[in-house]
Structure 1
Amino acid sequence: WPFGAFLCKATPYLQGVSVCASVYTLAAIALDRYLAICRNPQWRITTQLSRLMIASIWLLGVALLVPWAVFYEQFEHRTEFQVVPMCHQIWPDFQSQRAYFVGAIFVGTYLFPLLVVLLCYICIGLRVWNRRAPGVPKDNRLIRHSKMKVMKMLAVMVSLFALSWLPLHAIYMKMYFNADSFTQSELDMVYNVAIPISQWLELSNSGINPIIYCFFSRNFRRGFQSMCFFRRRHRRFSGVYSSTTKYMTIEYVNGHVTIIFRRDNRDESSSTL
């Protein structure tokens, strides 16, 4: 570890906080959809509530990962030929470290959020599947096809969430409860290959949901395309533009349109959009 004692504590702590915030954000999104679809169709997150939720998510991550900031230490690992600086957790005893991993890391950042996401999407799926529009036959082929797409999308989202985070937790669970079964070469493979790949896999889950929406939802694709088109059109026509005729003057200034109506070459009235 060549980066010093401060970064030895700060780097894993901040990484853990960001991962925790990412997981709980996904759980909060699932809970929001559940409330909007299954409980109250008028449910909307206000700006104040969204800020409160974001702050709570980050504060939870900050509090949950405090032991990492305390127990990560830089130390010197002496070999036969050299002294190598290392960065690792140094707890007072192994039982406390294992209990923290199981209770805070495995349950707090994987099992509990997974249960929240799973239960919310199961309820959403059941609600969508059993809902019937007035005047539409229950066995309508188009309706069934639409419902199946929703069910598949929910199943894919839950499965990817579970499978993306499972490998890293499985590796650490085996290391905490059956570390003696690893040989030195296997430990080197775990630290140098398996753990980095598992970390990449778990972090990729946060960015894969929009791809799932794009694949399953035509409305999402249309909304994304219209948003991009609006931005291009806005950039193309941004600035100042003015056009005058005998009866009106139209002014466009940075997105604001002002129309001035004329009568006998005198300003009659104006309207700003």
Structure 2
Amino acid sequence: MDPTYLASLNNSYELELLNDEWQIIIIVWYSSTAILSLISNILAIFILITSDRFMSEIWKYLVNLSVADILMAMFSIPFTYTSFMLGQWIFPTWLCPFIQSVQLCSVYVSVYTLAVIGFDRYFAIIHPFHHPVIYLKTHRIIVIVTVWITGIMFSFVQLLQTRAVPFRYGNETLYDCKELWNQDEGRYYTIFLFIITFGLPISILIFVYASIGVHLWQKKMPGNPETIRDLAQWQQKIKVIKMLIMIVIIFVVCWLPIHIHSFIVWFHPIHFQTYIGYMSYVISFFLCHWLAMAHSFLNPFIYGFMSENFKVCIHSFIHSSL
């Protein structure tokens, strides 16, 4: 949305959307989010790569998730909220398309890593002897590299279509970091982005986890002397599935609001008539955007809350460090 139009609605024709007190709150809020994301994900990566007790089958994918979240914390959180809050792009102009591209790439890598984990669990539990599960087990690095390559290629759209566009404000020339779409192009791209980064992968994950849930529910435990051991193994698998489902739910809760917000902006452009309407837009953006950014620190907490092995690893790490 045009920063000069927003400025005309805040009673003082200031580009900055909030007063100094609220700016301090927003800065502390987002800075805490970025720091928490960095610390939690770096700790998660260290524990995952140094422990042999934690889900050896998918630890590489979980590390990949944390790497994508770290990128989000470093290159998306500090820049995006700052430019919106101040009503201008205050950083070097060349950073504008780069930051938008990194953000899109990290989101793409996160969601398709989740999709790969879903397929991995689907074939491992329902079709353990089929070729796809053998490939996923023996070529996880290739799969991860492929996800990153496709994510980087996909993010080139932002490099090509995002620019720091100059605009006049008083006697100054300032910049607005924005996508260079016309109205129709912006709408088509919004739909495309929603399908590729949200609709399609979430649909896949719902299918695979629903299939796994039905399979586990209907599965009869083998009646042999190893029943206790097998039961313990199945209980562990169920715990893993619960954790992965929680990761998907958190992704939906965090990212769906910002997609809805984008649809509203492109398909129902808002022209506020009152200061209350203006503040409603500002608050709703910050809430939706923060939820999306908060996703970058939530996954490690999910690992800790839902994995006993991860808790054991944390305790072992703490004791060994003392």
Check if 1:60 corresponds to 2:150. yes
- Indicate the structure (1 or 2) with the bigger Cα radius of gyration: 1
Is this contact kept in 2: 1:22–1:206, CA < 8 A?
no
Is this contact kept in 1: 2:114–2:248, CA < 8 A?
no
Structure 1, gaps ≥5 residues long: 137-142, 237-273
CA displacement 1:218-244 (0-9 Å, x = unmatched): 344345545x37x92xx89xxxxxxxx
Separation in 1, partners of 2:245, 2:106: 25
Alpha-carbon distance change, 17 to 196 in structure 1, aligned in 2, over 3 angstroms? farther
Partner AA of 2:118 in structure 1: A
CA displacement 1:196-232 (0-9 Å, x = unmatched): 4433322433543343343334344345545x37x92
Tell me the residue number matched to 1:165. Answer: 255
Tell me the residue number matched to 1:208. Answer: 298
- How far is 1:179 from its partner? 0.9
Paired-residue identity, %: 28
Is this contact kept in 2: 1:125–1:154, CA < 8 A?
no
- How far is 1:152 from its partner? 5.7
Alpha-carbon distance change, 152 to 62 in structure 1, aligned in 2, over 3 angstroms? closer
Check if 1:49 corresponds to 2:139. yes
1:97 to 183, 186, 192: 186
- Within 5 A, what are the aligned runs for 1:23-172? 23-40=111-128, 43=133, 49-80=139-170, 82-91=172-181, 93-103=182-192, 105-135=193-223, 153=243, 156-172=246-262
SS of equivalent residue, structure 1 residue 87: strand
Separation in 1, partners of 2:219, 2:141: 33
Normalising by structure 1, what TM-score?
0.68
Alpha-carbon distance change, 219 to 135 in structure 1, aligned in 2, over 3 angstroms? farther
Q: Aligned Cα RMSD in Å?
A: 3.5
Separation in 2, partners of 1:82, 1:188: 26
CA displacement 1:141-164 (0-9 Å, x = unmatched): xx7xx5986776565443322111
Alpha-carbon distance change, 151 to 85 in structure 1, aligned in 2, over 3 angstroms? closer
**Worse-matched range after superposition: 50-59 or 40-49:** 40-49
Alpha-carbon distance change, 94 to 149 in structure 1, aligned in 2, over 3 angstroms? same
Separation in 2, partners of 1:184, 1:111: 35
Indicate the structure with greater strand content.
Answer: 1
Separation in 2, partners of 1:5, 1:193: 27
2:289 to 187, 199, 214: 199
Separation in 1, partners of 2:213, 2:267: 37
Separation in 2, partners of 1:110, 1:182: 29
Tell me the residue number matched to 1:20. Answer: 108
SS of equivalent residue, structure 2 residue 124: helix
Separation in 2, partners of 1:50, 1:208: 24
Is this contact kept in 1: 2:165–2:177, CA < 8 A?
yes
Check if 1:218 corresponds to 2:313. no
Indicate the structure with greater helix content.
Answer: 2
Normalising by structure 2, what TM-score?
0.59
Is this contact kept in 1: 2:247–2:299, CA < 8 A?
yes
Structure 2, gaps ≥5 residues long: 1-88, 225-230
Is this contact kept in 2: 1:5–1:73, CA < 8 A?
yes
